[in-house]
Amino acid sequence: MSQIAQHLLQVKERIVQAARRVGRGADHIQLLAVSKTKPLEDIQAAYAAGQRRFGESYAQEAAAKIDTLRAQPNYADIEWHFIGPLQSNKSRLVAERFDWVQSVDRDKLIERLNSQRPAGLPALNVCLQINISGESSKSGTSEQEIFRLAELVSHCERLRLRGLMAIPEHTSDEAVLAVQMRRMQTLFTELARQYPSVDTLSMGMTEDLEPAIAHGSTMVRVGTAIFGARDYS
């Protein structure tokens, strides 16, 4: 068994235990393996261990990976999620290749993704990103804008509204984290009540997946615990 396969098993066990502690079923929580900056070999190792959902944050790097793997029939069932800040001039790369975009946070991006999504592909799954911590260093729209943006997405023929995504504050203060995650859970519930297609609350990473699951996350985005620390050099 490869090291990545072992790490995947460990993360899945964390998900099972976290879900059990709050009376949830682990089968309702999806694992997104965040492979940004990681080589194709790491993705292939995770795929060999059964992982099918992968998250990327850099459009050009991701496009090269996706094109390479899609040229090989063995990898046709990978589900690709774009999870990073997306510049408008890179939106076509994403619209033409990805299955999901979790970082939608403004009108212009919604309009571009909808117009650039090829008609021959299924509708692009969209999560609206909220800057729930209010930190200036983070992307995402405000809580007040969510329902207006959701309405805009709902009228786009080539997009499908699936839910919300957030990166809560990186803090050791569990009370602060709980407040932000609880607010995300409330917003998700309100959004799902209005739109039947909404089923995804993407929240929780390597360090905070347990409290995220306790607050209703249906998808955790884990990179470091699977692939190791990233090298941004």
DSSP string, 76-104: TTPEEEE-S---GGGHHHHHTT-SEEEEE
- For 68, the enclosing helix (H) or strand (E) is helix 59-70
Chain-centroid distance, C-alpha 37: 16
pLDDT at 17 over 70: yes
Is the Cα dihedral 82, 87, 88, 89 positive or negative? negative
- Which residue, chain included where needed, has tokens 């946070």? 105
| Mean pLDDT confidence for 147-153 | 98
Which among 208, 206, 203 has a CA at the least distance from the CA of 219? 203
All residues at 6 or more sequence positions from 182 whose CB lies less than 8 Å from its CB, including other chains: 215
pLDDT class of 28 with cuts at 50, 70, 90:
very high
Burial of 29 (0-12, 13-18, 19+ CB in 10 A): buried
pLDDT at 230 over 80: no
The pTM for the full model equals 0.97
| Mean pLDDT confidence for 201-217 | 98
pLDDT at 136 over 90: no
pLDDT at 121 over 90: yes
pLDDT at 120 over 90: yes
Looking at 40-155, which runs of residues are DSSP E strands?
Answer: 53-56, 79-82, 100-104, 124-130
The span from the CA of 146 to the CA of 176, in Å, is 22
pLDDT class of 176 with cuts at 50, 70, 90:
very high
pLDDT at 232 over 70: no
pLDDT, position 1: 81
| Mean pLDDT confidence for 163-169 | 97
pLDDT at 167 over 70: yes
b/e for 1-17, b at 16 or more Cβ within 10 A? eeebbebbeebbebbbe
pLDDT at 86 over 90: yes
The span from the CA of 114 to the CA of 158, in Å, is 5
pLDDT, position 233: 59
| Mean pLDDT confidence for 107-132 | 98
